[in-house]
Amino acid sequence: MTAIDTSPTTAAPAPGTPLRGTTPTSSDLSGSPLSGTVLATPPTAELHLHVEGTLEPELVFALADRNDVDLPFASVDELRAAYSFGSLQEFLDLYYACTAVLQTAQDFRDLAWAYLERAHAQGLRHVEMFFDPQAHTSRDVDVDEVVDGLTQALDEARERFGITGGLILCFLRHLPVGDAAATLESVAHRASDLIGVGLDSSEVGFPPAAFARVFDRARALGLHVVAHAGEEGPPSYVTDALDLLHVERVDHGVRSLEDDALVARLVADRVPLTVCPLSNLRLAVVSDLTEHPLPRMLEAGLLVTVNSDDPAYFGGYVGDNYEALRDVLGLDDDALALLATNSVEASFADAGRKAELTAEVRAWREARRTA
């Protein structure tokens, strides 16, 4: 077995300790990017991040070696070249194929830890991490292995970096609704280890309505609810997610701009939209980043946040997305600070943690003014 050196330098809490956006101690905050050089992008929460989508080619090969998995690629470079696609479905095909290397709690811990280290260096302060258990249980990986590994990494990040956050279990909408219901029941005994549920995978042809009862059950378990809608699917999917799933956040939602009444509703109700600019470019939601609707969404008064979605595949982590908004769309520090503040407001962190994170964003903005 090949060892993968992704261990932190400090001891971590036991796996399974729930993270529900609680405020860390002052010593935890020593890992904040603001403790040293001021970053070019603001401290932020990330609310739209698929942990399986952080699987870099090098880690794919390392885990394949650890678990004796044969890959259809001869080298890291060949696999990296395959990280090129023209549609959501092409991306998903590769995404699910690479998950074959994830088999044990240690694998999931190493996956999440690699993301957390990298994103921390770009200003990550809070993360609400999506994971797709059906992509793993279909390969006979026990869901407890998945949750244990991811939770361990989050606990370590809180201890070492002061990053707070938790897990959002996502249902694969292209699979039967009964599978989603069974998946939820399989983790009901661990509801305290989750902060919410979501809905992802192929959007077109799989409207939210079918999952209404599953989402009702999730809310009964005390979980928050979010859903992907309005990325490739029509604005009506956003409306259905609000009316039938009763979501608290909409993931993507960029096509909401096509419906003026929907925009007015989203603005009035302060419904957050977790937008992923570089993802939208790579999946051809926009043909050029200069055409991205995010500036218009801000002008309309929408509660927009910036996220990386599947950064290993889309060429950018959360800070890279902020940088792209500055470099390509011309957003200034005030706009970036607004987006970061939006991410805090839209998070499921508690009030105390939100106040701390908001103060960090304000401090970043002031430091940038005086730098």
- pLDDT tens-digit map of 130-178: 999 999 999 999 999 999 999 999 999 999 999 999 999 999 999 999 9
Domains annotated on the chain, with CATH = 42-370 (3.20.20.140)
What's the rounded mean pLDDT across residues 33-42?
73
Return the percent helix, strand and coil in the chain, to nearest 5.
55, 15, 35
d(CA 54, CA 118): 10
Q: Give which of 19, 12, 84, 97 is closest to 55, Cα–Cα.
A: 97
Is the pLDDT at 109 greater than 90, yes or no?
yes
What residues are annotated to the active site? 231
Is the pLDDT at 18 greater than 80, yes or no?
no
* Tokens (6 digits) for 53: 């989508």
- pLDDT tens-digit map of 248-280: 999 999 999 999 999 999 999 999 999 999 999
CB atoms within 10 A of CB 195: 24
Residue 215 has phi, psi (to 5 degrees) of -70, -35
- pLDDT tens-digit map of 279-332: 999 999 999 999 999 999 999 999 999 999 999 999 899 999 999 999 999 999
